[in-house]
């Protein structure tokens, strides 16, 4: 064995004195940061700013990406809920009830709150529920979700992948709007949720809940939950693997009258 040092050089040969200088400044800054770490007080508050510095800096630089799929009949209140959730007016055009097939319309918005950037993509189902053939209503949604997975996989399989700049369009959450009939789920609702539940996190939402009384709403909620369970539809469950939140999340996941996953919305 030779005594030759096989380790890679500390600085690549093409690095100029200037870049060495800037890296020294950077090292100095890093050392200073290490010596004076940001002190976090244990106030019990869990939020973005209580994450480690490195994570906060990286997230601020990159921004966040969140993709929401809204599935619901025409005029059920999809745009109104999204506007309310993000406290913005997204100016979405109303759809017609006479579309011959379901079309998925994805719109991306750049939102900013203080220095945190969010790339929000809202995918709307135009013409959903207006077809006689049920399969024609949900199949385009399934195809859209699969196409986004495929696009991401293709990016990952590239020899030179650049996932850092890649706009990840995979759906994070599906808000499923249920009409406030007070009776039960429609066949279309069950078929659609069943075909989507293995691909996305479904959060069922009772739309226009002000259309029925509070007691009816409670009964409706229980009925819907039992129908979802008896038809084997899996809806989003809060994670229980972290022991600090396991207890509270487990209690929220129980499919009972108080299940908060079956939200209801009403216009203010």
Ligand X SMILES: Nc1nc2c(ncn2[C@@H]2O[C@H](COP(=O)(O)OP(=O)(O)OP(=O)(O)O)[C@@H](O)[C@H]2O)c(=O)[nH]1
* Contacts with ligand X, residue ranges (CB under 6 A): 72, 74-80, 92, 94-95, 208, 210-211, 265-267
- The item of Mg ion, ligand X, none sharing an interface with residue 196, based on CB under 5 to 8 Å by kind, is none
Residue 136's region, left for phi above 0, alpha for psi from -120 to 50, else beta, is: alpha
Residue 52's φ and ψ, nearest 5 degrees, are -60, 150
Q: Are 137 and 102 in contact (CB under 8 A)?
A: yes
Burial 205-236, CB ≥16 within 10 A → b, else e: bbbbbeebeeeebeebbeebbeebeeeebebe
Cα–Cα–Cα angle for 12, 18, 19, rounded to 5 degrees: 40
For residues 40 to 79, the per-residue mask of contacts with Mg ion, x marking binding by CB under 5 A and - elsewhere, is: --------------------------------------xx
Query: Which is closer to ligand X, CB of 247 or CB of 267?
Result: 267
- The item of Mg ion, ligand X, none sharing an interface with residue 77, based on CB under 5 to 8 Å by kind, is ligand X
Q: Least distance in Å: CB of 71 to ligand X? A: 10
- The item of ligand X, Mg ion, none sharing an interface with residue 102, based on CB under 5 to 8 Å by kind, is none
Indicate whether 92 belongs to the interface with Mg ion (CB under 5 A).
yes
Query: Which is closer to ligand X, CB of 183 or CB of 267?
Result: 267
β-pair type (116-126, 103-113): antiparallel
- The item of Mg ion, ligand X, none sharing an interface with residue 234, based on CB under 5 to 8 Å by kind, is none
Q: 197 to each of 141, 151, 175, 201, 256, how far by Cα in Å?
A: 12, 20, 12, 7, 20
Query: Which is closer to ligand X, CB of 85 or CB of 250?
Result: 85
- The item of Mg ion, ligand X, none sharing an interface with residue 180, based on CB under 5 to 8 Å by kind, is none
Q: Are 67 and 59 in contact (CB under 8 A)?
A: no
Q: Least distance in Å: CB of 193 to Mg ion? A: 20
Q: 251 to each of 237, 245, 257, how far by Cα in Å?
A: 11, 10, 12
Q: Least distance in Å: CB of 204 to Mg ion? A: 18
**86-94, 139-147, 156-164, 207-215 -> range binding Mg ion (CB under 5 A):** 86-94
Query: Which is closer to Mg ion, CB of 126 or CB of 191?
Result: 126
Indicate whether 83 belongs to the interface with Mg ion (CB under 5 A).
no
Q: Are 236 and 263 in contact (CB under 8 A)?
A: no
Query: Which is closer to ligand X, CB of 19 or CB of 120?
Result: 120
Indicate whether 125 belongs to the interface with Mg ion (CB under 5 A).
no
Q: Are 72 and 203 in contact (CB under 8 A)?
A: no
User: Site residues (CB under 5 A) for Mg ion?
Assistant: 78-79, 92
């Amino acid at each position: 064995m030779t005594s030759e040092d096989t380790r890679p050089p500390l600085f690549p040969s093409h690095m100029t004195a200037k870049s060495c200088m800037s890296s020294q400044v950077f090292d100095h800054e890093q050392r200073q940061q290490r010596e004076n770490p940001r002190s976090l007080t244990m106030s019990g508050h869990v939020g973005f700013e209580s994450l480690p510095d490195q994570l906060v800096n990286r997230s601020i630089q990159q921004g966040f990406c969140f993709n929401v799929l809204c599935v619901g009949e025409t005029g059920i209140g999809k745009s109104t809920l999204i506007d309310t959730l993000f406290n913005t007016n997204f100016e979405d055009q109303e759809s017609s009830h006479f579309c011959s097939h379901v079309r998925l319309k994805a719109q991306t918005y750049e939102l900013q709150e203080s220095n945190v950037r969010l790339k929000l993509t809202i995918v709307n189902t135009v013409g959903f529920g207006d077809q006689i053939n049920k399969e024609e209503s949900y199949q385009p949604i399934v195809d859209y979700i699969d196409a986004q997975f495929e696009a991401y996989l293709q990016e990952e399989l590239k020899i030179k992948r650049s996932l850092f700049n890649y706009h990840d369009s995979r759906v994070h959450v599906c808000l499923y709007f249920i009409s406030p009939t007070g009776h039960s789920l429609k066949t279309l609702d069950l078929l659609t949720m069943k075909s989507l539940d293995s691909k996305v996190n479904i959060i069922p939402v009772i739309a226009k809940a002000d259309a029925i009384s509070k007691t009816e709403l409670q009964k409706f909620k229980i009925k819907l939950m039992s129908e979802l369970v008896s038809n084997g539809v899996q809806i989003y469950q809060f994670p229980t693997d972290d022991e600090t939140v396991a207890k509270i999340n487990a209690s929220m996941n129980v499919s009972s009258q108080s299940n908060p996953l079956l939200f209801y919305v009403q216009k203010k």
